[in-house]
Amino acid sequence: MEHLQKIGRELALGTNTVTSTFSQSKEFLDLIKSIGEARSKSEEDRIVLRETDILKKLIHSPDIPKRKMKEYILRLVYIEMLGHDSSFGYIHAVKMTHDESVILKRTGYLAVTLFLNEDHDLIILIVNTIQKDLRSDNYLVVCAALNACCKLINEETIPAVLGQVVELLGHNKEAVRKKAVMALHKFWIRSPGSVSHLVVNFRKKLCDNDPGVMGATLCPLYDLITLDVNPYKDLVVSFVNILKQVAERRLPKSYDYHQTPAPFIQIKLLKILALLGSGDKKSSEQMYTVIGDIMRKSDTTSNIGNAILYECICCISSIQPSPKLLETAAEAIAKFLKSDSHNLKYMGIDALGRLIRISPDVAEQHQLAVIDCLEDPDDTLKRKTFELLYKMTKSSNVEVIVERMIDYMISINDSHYKTETASRCVELAEQFAPSNHWFIQTMNKVFQHAGDLVNPKVAHNLMRLIAEGFGEDDDTADSQLRSSAVESYLKIVDEPKLPSAFLQVICWVLGEYGTADGKYSASYISGKLCDVAEAHSSDDVVKAYAVTALMKVYSFEKAAGRKFSLLPECQSLLEELFASHSSDLQQRAYEFQAILGLDANAIENIMPLDASCEDIEIDKSLSFLDSYVHKALEEGAEPYIPENERSGTLTISSFGNQNPYESAAHSLRFEAYEVPKPVVPTRIPQTVSYPTELVPIQQPSYHPEVQSTPSLRPVSDAGSAELRLRLDGVQKKWGKPTYSSAASSSASNFDSQTVNGATQADTVVSKPREPSYDSRRQPHVEVSEEKQKLAASLFGGSTSRSEKKQSVTTQKARPATPNTTTTATTTTTTVVQAPPPDLLDLGEPTGATSSYSSAVDPFKELEGLLDVGHDGNAAATSTGSDLMSLYSDASTNGQTQNATSTNGSVTPTRTASLTKGPSRKDALDKDALVRQMGVNPTSQNPNLFSDLLG
């Protein structure tokens, strides 16, 4: 809208720039001006409605000039983009795609792609036009048709254009090849089965000599790798080499964005490497060097540079861990958290949450920064910080984190975030609760402030916990737990607007244990329950829980032999429920009345005290009725026929639908006739006695990570001996063990360097750790005592700078032990082993300290990218698929690599020796030349991968 208003103001000032830009009629410009100056949505609607009426008359006029029709279509596009209906002109846009003029054809395709979707009825009218335009000699027309393929071709029409799109992958224009890759990608998204045999083309186009085509190929490859990583493991070396060359500014400067070389290609490559390196140590080791180089070269002063740095951290947290990369990532996170920008702080908190899964100790270095973000007024940053604390929760800090989360839940009004926060509080309390008392109090707070947003299963878990107690033989502790629950519920039962699930818990607890310790009388407890039923008369579930609780209270009193009298409020409640429309409430009321008429011994057997955790034996076979059945059969009763064996019998449902005053022969049947089943001869069922067994009622737990437990029954069997709150041996919710010996040994390969075919391990020198976030603060800034206590509660350590420094010194000075995977001594250790293959050998003159040195041709890993003949070798006769022809003008290190083949094509040949050892001077001169020229190579369409072959 701001852009439209700007155009309207320029038109009002009489400027000529808009007229020269649009080259449209005065009516079109007046439309834009009036909409831009509209003061309300209703005024805009009136303008568009008037314009729509005008266009309906103009567009159906005979003999309209093409120039005018083009303008009318553009005005329809403008109206459609504003959200108004212009379907009356769709057919004219489809007709314009048939025009011979390139401008009109492209305008028609533009309008059609905006107007229609892939399931529209008019799509069938433009399929033939698209087929014809894909064969056009004008590449602009071909590009317009490919754009239409991406938007309009559906699963049924893919075979009509698929062959032509595949042929265009070899077009001489890079724009056509790029759009052909995009179209093939869209086809795969809509119908993977129809193009599954063509995905190999994405591998081939990855080596296209145009960076735009290569960048477009990364998108389908990313989607394919996301589904299945294993078929693309051989491309790790290719992606690493491409990423290295992009980072070294081998692409033209037209791909730079804010002086950053092709940042979007870098980000997509990092995402792909994160997938390929996940859980794969060998593949991860090939990525360490290039990721480290990108992090060192990233420009932290620009947003795009920080975006690349963040993506590197995400990649590091996904692949097998490397100590050096983890340290570099921690330093980058520290810079994010120290920034004044909320966006960078948000990114730092998110990156820290990813990194602590691998290295939980990283969070302790930034504890004060995390607390600052937790107290920040920016709500989005605060939510992200709570997500981080949720991942950091353990048994030692669960009380502080849950308390903070409950306070935040109380302060927000958004129901979505309140539900999410309440769920997390319940999950953390169930998993890391230090005591049952704390768990009950926490659940009370969550129920009070989250209302009915809490999952109903949480209420059943809470009732089960109160019923089971501590799960030990300490009856005193269980009694204290129940007494504290009764007291807490009596204090809050009279509060208004309590959620229904919480009221169910309150009624159940008061009915089971309200009079258990003798502190409260039956009259007092029953009066509270009657108040609950009266206050929530519209909630049948709460009333049902209240009536059952009243029945328990009076049953326990009568079973104990104590005298009691039914309160008038209770009597009036029963009389009301006798005439209730709810059959469940009626049944509970009549059961209540019937139980009160029994003697004490019968009530004690029916309603035993504190029997909610006892097992209930259920005889599913009803064997106790066997004698009755035999006696009835002997007296001539008809035997029972199972439902699945019945044939021709009148079911209850059909009997209910039958009119008793009409004969069945004359009644009309509107349902389909059933297929007659074979009549099974009647037989007397044999007596089968099944062993009695306990049938628990299973329900899934509240959270998938919590063990599935049986749900509570609403009356007396609220607990089960199979579930109790875990209080000992609480494990961490997140994270993995810190680096094992295998991870440390794999990281040593990252430190080693290959020199003339021999491998030497770097010297491990004791190096002081980088000061943490709080130690780098200015000396005059003092941390408040409250913040220090909060940090100590959250992270389990002190925030004092002197203590942190002392701990770091102690850690570094600690002598090595046999179980330690890495040493912190200054002794030089030399390990002689077989030279590993260098994965980034690009044939450049490097010294002994080169990170990419190798004696093996890395392009052997890319044989799968080529068309393979019957003999298993790459087909050398096809120049279109010959990968070597892409680098015909490559010249490196002053050596001639061009060789003329027999068919006249120029292919590079490796002439560099396998041994490395050129002087450093040549390398420095080359680097100086590259910096001076700004980009290497300098041709208009450089060979992107000229160094891949050495």
| pLDDT tens digits along 656-670 | 444 444 444 444 555
How many residues are there in the chain?
A: 950
Quick check: is 34 in a domain?
no
Cβ contact 444:412 at 8 Å: no
Q: What is the percent of the chain with per-residue pLDDT over 70, rounded to a whole number?
A: 65
- Residue 618: in which H helix or E strand, if any? strand 617-618
For 23-27, 116-120, 126-130, 938-942, which range has the lowest pLDDT when averaged over its residues? 938-942
pLDDT bin (cut points 50, 70, 90) of residue 909 is: very low
d(CA 96, CA 887): 43
Half-sphere exposure of 558 (CA within 13 A, CB side): 22
d(CA 332, CA 298): 11
d(CA 720, CA 658): 47
Question: Looking at the predicted structure, is the pLDDT value of residue 770 above 80?
Answer: no
pTM of the model: 0.59
Quick check: is 419 in a domain?
no
**For the chain, first and last CA: distance in Å?**
54
Question: Is the bond leading into 815 cis (omega within 30 degrees of zero)?
Answer: no
Closest to 106 measured CA to CA, from 70, 144, 139, 149: 144
In 3-state terms, what secondary structure has residue 906? strand
> Cα 770–774–777 angle (5° rounding)?
95
**Measured in whole angstroms, how far is the alpha carbon of residue 139 from the centre of its chain?**
41
Question: What is the residue whose two structure tokens read 């092709």?
Answer: 262
**Per-residue pLDDT reduced to its tens digit, 306-353:** 999 999 999 999 999 888 999 999 999 999 988 889 899 999 999 998
pLDDT value at position 248?
A: 92
Quick check: is 529 in a domain?
yes
Question: Looking at the predicted structure, is the pLDDT value of residue 251 above 80?
Answer: yes
Residues 6+ apart with CB under 8 A from 579: none
Cβ contact 823:816 at 8 Å: yes
pLDDT value at position 808?
A: 39
Cα–Cα separations (whole angstroms), residue 570 to 514, 518, 527, 581, 901: 16, 21, 8, 19, 104
Residues 6+ apart with CB under 8 A from 48: 35, 79, 82, 84
Cβ contact 945:241 at 8 Å: yes
> Cα 767–820–825 angle (5° rounding)?
35
Quick check: is 805 in a domain?
no
Quick check: is 540 in a domain?
yes
Ramachandran region, residue 683 (left: φ > 0; alpha: ψ -120 to 50; beta: rest): beta
Cβ contact 944:250 at 8 Å: yes
d(CA 427, CA 443): 11
pLDDT value at position 907?
A: 41
Cβ contact 443:429 at 8 Å: yes
Cβ contact 784:777 at 8 Å: no
pLDDT bin (cut points 50, 70, 90) of residue 794 is: low
Quick check: is 319 in a domain?
no
pLDDT value at position 924?
A: 63
Cβ contact 152:129 at 8 Å: no
DSSP string for residues in 433-478:
-S-HHHHHHHHHHHHHHHGGGS-HHHHHHHHHHHHHTTSSS-HHHH
Mean pLDDT of 30-54: 90
Closest to 541 measured CA to CA, from 509, 581, 488, 584: 584
pLDDT value at position 307?
A: 94
pLDDT value at position 538?
A: 87
In this structure, are strands 256-257 and 260-261 parallel, antiparallel, or unpaired?
Answer: antiparallel
Quick check: is 572 in a domain?
yes
Cα–Cα separations (whole angstroms), residue 810 to 770, 807, 817: 15, 5, 15
Quick check: is 590 in a domain?
yes
Question: What is the residue whose two structure tokens read 């070597």?
Answer: 884
Question: What is the residue whose two structure tokens read 């330690």?
Answer: 820
Closest to 306 measured CA to CA, from 260, 273, 251: 260
**Per-residue pLDDT reduced to its tens digit, 640-651:** 888 878 765 444
Which domain range does residue 509 map to? 479-606
pLDDT bin (cut points 50, 70, 90) of residue 776 is: very low
pLDDT bin (cut points 50, 70, 90) of residue 464 is: confident
Tally of domains in the chain: 1
